[in-house]
Structure formats: C-alpha cells, structure tokens
Structure 1
Amino acid sequence: MSVTVFIQGRNGVTRWQPGKRWLLLPMLLIAAGAGLYQYNQLRFETQQASADNERQAREQQQRQVKQLKTATENQLSMLVTHVAKMQAKLTRLEALGQQLAQNYQLDEQFDFSAEVGVGGPSEYGSSIELDQLLSDMERLALGIDKSNTQLGLLETVASNLNIEQERYISGRPVGKGWLSSPYGLRNDPFNGHRAMHKGIDFAGAEGTDVIATGAGVVTWAGNMFGYGNLVEIDHGNGLRTRYGHNEALSVAVGDVVAKGEKIASLGSSGRSTGPHVHYEVLRNGQQIDPKQFVYRHAG
C-alpha cells in the first residue's frame, strides 16, 4: 500500500509519496497519546483514591473524637452528680454534728461549720474542668472523713456523758416513803442490843415501787439471809447498791437497769418489822454511809 500526497505550490502541483517510516509516525503519536492518557488517568485515580482514604480516615477520627467527647461528658456528668451527693451528705453530717454539739454544749470543741465542702460547677451550661472536679471531690472526701471522725468522737463523748450521768448514784430508792432508820449504830429492833446498821431504811406503803438510784448491771436478784428478797446492782468504779426486804422483784441477774427504773416492790421479807426497803451503798465491797448519795444533787 502506498500513499501519494499532492502539494499545491507557486510552481504548480508537486506530488510527494512518503515512505513507510512516515506512515508509522501517526500511529506512534496515537499510541504515545493513548499511553500518556492512561498514565494520567491512573495517576488521577490513585490520587482520588488516596484523597478518599484520607477523607474517610478524617471522618473516622471525627466520629471517634465525637464518641470520646460524648463518653467524657457523660462521665463528667456522673462525677458532678456524685459530687452533689457528697455535698448533700457532708451538709447533713455537719448539721447533725452541730446539733449534737449544741445539745451537749460541746459546740466550742466541735465546730462543724468551719469547713464546708464545695465543688463542681453550679451554673447551668458552664464548662466542666476535670482537674478542678477531681480536686473538689478530694476536698469533699476529706471533709466527710473529718466530719465522720468528729461525729465518732462526739458520739463517744456524748455516750460517756450519758453513761456517767446514769451511773451517778443519787436520790432515794423509793418515790414515796420516809427515812425510818439511818446508817450507823442503833438498837437492834429484834433483840435491843447495840448493833451497826450498814444501810438506810425507807418505810412506805407495801407494794410501792423500789427504783434504782443509778444505772448498772444486776448482780443479785433473789433471797439473801437477813435481807429477804434482795436486788444488788453493780454501777462500776467499785460502787454497788443493795435494796432489801422487797415483796417482789422486777429484775433478774444480768439485767441492765436504768437510773430511776423500777426493780422491785416494797415489802417486809427477811429480817424485817414492817414494809420498808433497806438501802446500802458499797464501795469496793465495804458498806459506806448512803446519806452522801441520797442527798446529793442528781448528776
């Protein structure tokens, strides 16, 4: 196959017939153009894919950041709620402690208003600072621990005050009655001989309530020679009281009785001439004059 090219010039028409090499040139150009196009297309697709991957990675990071932010905000909200509960507990502890201190006149020793826990943002919509929140929670925890410690000490002091007040022996063992025989030497009502009377007798109507003159533990509740139906109470610190000649007993050994509690009914059991209660106070096992306890003011 041959190609003839006619070229119009000033001197007429010139015929040119290219060789095979000239015929291959367009094909080479077309092939080169197609290759360049494919290269550019592939490069474009590669860049597009890389851009898509980067975009997807950014979107994934944004989603993770959003999820982390949401989770953090939820956790911080829970922490704020926890701080609020701690504040409420601390306020309640302080109020209770202050009331107890005032009731027992110890407010000078226990000042629960000195430290008040504050923490966490209080304005709606304000930002939450984690470091500040943790600091507030630590301060609140310390405040609650301090208040609990103070309440424990206060409770111990108050309990000791109550115990000492209850154990404080004072008053008469009967609500209604009269002193019929004092402590000391007297003529024995049965034989007329001089004898040591180691207690005080309070006479009254049979069945009258016999009451404990101080709180303690019942160490004897039953018949004892000479005493008839006897109640003995240990008040601690080496002090005991005895209540003899009762008609009936209202307590048993091991019972814990309060000051002023009924322990028996007045009678005339044992070595007795009539309804009365024989009242003794013993210190370290030895009877002493109960008069100092009968007539002293209640603790």
Structure 2
Amino acid sequence: MSLIEVKKATVRPFNPIAWGCGFVCVLLSVSVVLNVYQWQAQTKEREHVAVSLQKVKAEYQQHNTDVVNLRAKTQDHLLAYQMKLAQLQGEVNRLAALGEKLAEVASIPENEYDMLQSVAQGGPATEDIASSQWVALDVFKEIDQIDLALASQAHKMSLLESVLMNHHIEESSQISGKPVTQGWLSSYFGVRKDPFSGEPAMHKGLDFAGIEGDAVITTGAGVVTWASERSGYGNLVEIDHGQGVATRYGHNRTILVKVGDVVEKGQAIAELGNTGRSTGAHVHYELLNNGEATNPLRTVYRTSAN
C-alpha cells in the first residue's frame, strides 16, 4: 500500500504596503488615462471653436464688405437720382417757359391761364429726421415735388391746348385738300365694281394711291377719336373736326397718332400702307357728316381758308 504525501500549502502573510502601492499605481493609471482623454477632448473642442470663430469672422468680413458695397452703390444711386432730378427740374422750368410763351403768342388773357402758378402743398407737422436719413428722404421729397409739378404742368398744357383750340380751331377745321402729299386719285366715291367679289358695291370714299410709306396727312384740324385696326379698314385713323364733321384714313402701314391727340391741318398722322381689305398701297379717305358718308371730292379741290 503506497502512501500519498500531502504537502501543506504555505500562506503568505498580508502585506499592506504592496497592496497600497498597487492601488496607487492603478489610480495613477486611471488618472493618466482620464487626463489624456480630457486633454484630447479639450483639444478637439478648441479646434472646433477655432474653426467656428474663423467662419464667424469670415461671415462678418463678408457682411462688412456687403455693407460697404451697398453704401457705395446707394451713394452712387443717390447721386444719379440727384442728377436726374436736376434734369427733370430743368424740363419743368422749360415747360413753364414754353407755356408762358405760347400763351403770349396766342394772346390768351392771364386770368384764363397761369403757367407760373405754384403748386399748392401742405400737411401736418412731423418730427425731425435724423441727419443720416435726410439725404435719401430729401431725394424722395424732391421726386414727389417734381412729380406734382409735372402733373400740374401737364394739366396746364392741356388747358392751354384747349384754349388754343377754342381760339383757332374754326380757322383750320374747314376740310380741304388731299389726304396725301403725293400720289393720285385711284378710285371715286359711289357704286363701283368690288375689287374682291367683282360685284357692284358702294364705295363710301376716295382712294389715293401712292408709294408705301408716303405721308398721310389730315385735311382739317381736329381731335383723334380712333387710331388702331378696324375691320375692313386695316389700320385706321378717324378725326373729329367738330360740328358733326369727321374724316377717316384707312389701310395705313403705320399710325403716328393716338386717341385724344389734337392735330393740325396738314399734319402727318400715318404712313401709306396696304393693310386691311386692300389690293395695294393707298389711303381710303372718307368724309362723314353726322355719321353719314358723303362724297369728299368737292373738298379735295377746295381752296383752304389758310
């Protein structure tokens, strides 16, 4: 029978110094790791802050540049506006002088027309404006004043035009002469063979043929009541001469007047054309009395009172 020898395990006694040193080493290691991590985190945060500051700085510089450019452009625009305002003011003064001269030439009494009358203005008192805003607002104020002045001058010129018409319309409203400066009478008033259908048809005017683009002129002074395309007539101009008398000028290539214009005898109102129901360049000329077409031939060779 064999015997098993059992050795007794030896237990070392507890060494507090060794354990203490080990614990301190672990704490130091953890502290180092934490410090390194914190340092890296702070470094990244500083880098992020630095990048953000660079972006903010770049944006600020860009905004500052934009403000400088905007201020420069605004000053340039204000200068341009001021120069334009000076030109407009010159135009207002020129219109005033012209109106005064026309009134003098037309022997219009001063109590009928006062071109130099100042524009009425007013309004409640307002607070003082800061000097930094004054330049721009002053320009706007001048624009408003010139706008009022131009509106006033336009109204006065219309009054002058009406007065001049009342003074002189009777002298030049008598219908006479041809509606062209050059050309020939190509078709008469009355029943004729229609150039399109070949059937007999009433022709309510005279046709004056010529070269396309030649001047079409008025045969009497009056007011334009139609200046656009009209069925059959092509581009048509119609003029009211007063007392129920009107004239029409059809088939024009180009119209040179607009509705409401006051025209003089012999004034070019259109260019000879071939628009509408037409076979060639000519002007279809009509004379109407109270809306009824009459033969204008008797007026074509009438001697003008002027």
Give the TM-score of the pair, scaled to structure 1. 0.47
Structure with greater proportional strand content: 1
Give the TM-score of the pair, scaled to structure 2. 0.46
